[in-house]
Structure 1
Amino acid sequence: MKILLTTIFAYPHEGGLSTHMTTLKKGLEERGHSVDVLSFSSFSRAYRTAYARLPGYLVNKWKKGRGQLWNDSQRQRLLFRQLQRIRHRYDVVNAQDIYAALAAVTAGVPTVATVHGYYAYEAVSRGAIAEHSPEARQVEKLEQEAYIRANQLVAVDRRIQQYIRRVADVEAVVIKNFIDVDSFCPSSLSDSSKVRRAFKLPENAPILFVPRRLTEKNGVIYPLLALPEVLRRHPDAMLVYAGTGEQQERIEEEMRKRGLRAHVRLLGSVPHEQMKQLYGIATVVLVPSVHSHGVEEATSISALEAMGSGAPVIAGAVGGLKEIFEHGVDGILVKDRDVDGLAAAIIRLLDDRAYGRKLAANARKKVENHYSHRVAAERFEAVYITARQRHLSSRFKQEKRGTMGSVE
């Protein structure tokens, strides 16, 4: 098949959605399909700024959230115009957000919408749109429309599947997130000393690695709040963040307030290839997600990458993370916003490295068996076939109604 992956966001970019697209593309191509990507980055920088970013920024100054809607709607129009030109080249379009899905169905192409999260709630959670505002209600309506109009829906965990059913009364196939199991594996990791020098990290310090965007739902403040207790037991521990986001200012403020600068590294945005190296030197990986404005973590790609790389993981017991991990068998789950529980879990893994290695070995086996990009690509292939059949059936019915109307 000729498949187009599309999104209104930049590609590649920081975050799980971009990683999902890259890994899915590889899996589909390994199965013999031809895969292209259409994203906001497909257009020139000047055009992107003049058409969407600058007007959206100015409108947002006038009313918070209104500019976000403008920006996203303009991006949708860009994708729609391009899809109109190239739709004949593709058998199916797999949209990665609600605006890309609406662009594809409006352009008249077979459309699969992959639902990575709770779109309207997440806009509120990251502060882009005010809660209960007209803008929030408008995004909710657009979300519902996208789910209803798409030929087929994929949810990345069962809670999102239930959410889709609740807001749009339609069914989605669950295909949990996945990783490239060949790329993220213990045997491919670089020399530890070299990686530590490259990132200016102490040679022998235990590394507590947080591979997350610095946004509220990812719970990134809680490892920092737990760090003082960890340092009492392990005074050389180093907390390392790889990501950017609106929570960075709060993290930096807490670092200063608590005198933790010497024990924290904020690496900013790290290229995906280099993330593999950081997983490789991690003593413990932290994915401390929390509930935030109705948002729950899906099947976290960061968690799966850590599981594949041979590092033990401590995760928040929310959303899809509870579906990934069996507590005490292949990872440790801690309660939402439980600073003491998080500190205790970290200390346990630093005290008992053999226990951490056992968790990591079990996690690697689970990833190979259930979260491989090859398994996921095969399942997406079946979804694409169904979407094409539904699209053709719908078009045939429309044409038949039109013919009958003209006869009458």
Structure 2
Amino acid sequence: MKILLATAYDYPHAGGLSTHVTTLKAGLEELGHQVDILSFSDVPAWKRKALAQGPSFLLNKFKKGKGIVWSHKMRRKFLQGLIEANKQKGYDLINAQDPFTVLAALATGIPTVATVHGYMTFESISKGSLLENSPEEEYMKDIEVQAYRGARKVITVDQRLKEYVKEVSGIDATAVRNFIDIHQFKPNKEKKHEYRKKYGLSADDRVLFVPRRLTRKNGVIYPALALPEVLKEFPQTKLIYAGSGEALDELKEIVEENRLNDHVVFLGAIPHDQIKEFYALSDVVLVPSVHSAGVEEATSISALEAMGSGSPLIASAVGGLKEIVNHQEDGLLVEEKNIKELVESIVYLFQHPEKGEEFAAKARQKIESEYSHISAAKKYESVYLKAL
């Protein structure tokens, strides 16, 4: 098949959707399919800024929510134009990665499958871009329903999203849990000291790594709030964040108030290849997600990458994280926002590194058997064939 993966968001960007698209493309190509990617990034920069991002910023000043609606409408229009301009390539199918792109793809007449990565409307409220109980919220919800009902088939990245799609639109989706490229994300602990030296870290440092976008639903403030207690037991602890987002200012305030500047590193959004080096040099990876405005973590790609990379994982017991981590078998689960539990779990793994190694080995086995990009691509292929 000739397949187009399309999204109204930027590609590539630091985030799970972009990683998903890259990894799915690799899996489908290994199965012999031809795969192209179209995204908002393919629109000329002047158009993006002058017609989508700029007006969106100004409209949001007038009323929160108007900006995001405008932006998404323009992104839909741009994507439809891009797809029309590429129709001569003869795509058999479009796999659209968000509701607005689904509608853009449907307008071109090419068979369309939708992948649902999250709760678009609720996530916009959680981020503060949309007001609850506003006309804009209702508009966004309606777009979701139109997309789910219009697509030939709908795929969700976890079971809860499957239930959500059924609840709001009546459509029976197929749940295919998120996945990773098991050849790219694999244990590499023999390079631990080499990478620490590269990034100015000591062999004696205890390194906590948070590979998350700095947004509210990712619970990124909680490792920083837990750090003062961890430092009482392990004063050489370093907490490293890889990601950007609206929670950065709040995080910096916590660091300043608790005098943690020498112990916290903000890398910002870094290339995906570089993330692998931080998994290798870390002692523990943290995925501290929380409920926010009705949003729960789906099958976290960051958690899967950590489990595939040989790093012991501590995650919040919310959403899809509960589905992928077996507590005290291949990782540790803690109650969301529970700083005391988070501290105890970190200290436990620091005190018992052999237990962390045991968790990590079992986690890798699970990733190979259940979350391979090849097995996921076969499931996507099956859905595509049904759609056609």
Fold-level similarity (TM above 0.5): yes
Q: Which runs of 5+ in 2 are unaligned?
A: none
Map of 2:224 onto structure 1: 224
Farther-moved stretch of structure 1 (269-278 vs 88-97): 88-97
Farther-moved stretch of structure 1 (130-139 vs 220-229): 130-139
User: Partners of 1:191 and 1:332 in 2: how far apart?
Assistant: 25
SS in 2 for 1:129: coil
Map of 1:136 onto structure 2: 137
Deviation at 1:196, TM superposition (A): 2.1
Farther-moved stretch of structure 1 (278-287 vs 192-201): 192-201
User: Partners of 1:325 and 1:274 in 2: how far apart?
Assistant: 24
TM-score, normalization: structure 2? Answer: 0.98
Deviation at 1:190, TM superposition (A): 7.1
1:299 aligns with 2:292: no
User: Partners of 2:195 and 2:253 in 1: how far apart?
Assistant: 28
Alpha carbons of structure 1 residues 174 and 197: separation in structure 2 relative to 1, 3 Å = same
TM-score, normalization: structure 1? Answer: 0.93
Deviations 1:15-40 (A, max 9, x none): 00000000000000011000000101
Q: Is residue 190–residue 277 contact of structure 1 (8 Å, CA) maintained in 2?
A: no
User: Partners of 1:33 and 1:190 in 2: how far apart?
Assistant: 35
1:331 aligns with 2:331: yes
Spell out the pairing of 1:98-247 with structure 2 (5 A cutoff).
98-187=99-188, 191-247=191-247
User: Partners of 1:387 and 1:331 in 2: how far apart?
Assistant: 37
Deviations 1:105-163 (A, max 9, x none): 12211111110011100000111111221111110111111111111001111111111
SS in 1 for 2:115: strand
SS in 1 for 2:113: strand
Deviations 1:23-73 (A, max 9, x none): 000000011000000101112111211221112112122111101110111
SS in 1 for 2:293: coil
* Moved beyond 3 Å, runs of 4+: none
Deviation at 1:305, TM superposition (A): 0.4
User: Partners of 1:126 and 1:190 in 2: how far apart?
Assistant: 39
Map of 1:401 onto structure 2: none
Deviation at 1:248, TM superposition (A): 0.5
Q: Which runs of 5+ in 1 are unaligned?
A: 389-408
SS in 1 for 2:37: strand
Spell out the pairing of 1:35-114 with structure 2 (5 A cutoff).
35-87=35-87, 89-114=90-115
User: Partners of 1:9 and 1:329 in 2: how far apart?
Assistant: 37
User: Partners of 1:190 and 1:327 in 2: how far apart?
Assistant: 26
User: Partners of 1:200 and 1:126 in 2: how far apart?
Assistant: 34
Bigger-Rg structure (1/2):
1
Map of 1:311 onto structure 2: 311
- Aligned pairs, number: 387
Aligned-pair RMSD on alpha carbons?
1.1
Map of 1:391 onto structure 2: none
Deviation at 1:198, TM superposition (A): 3.2
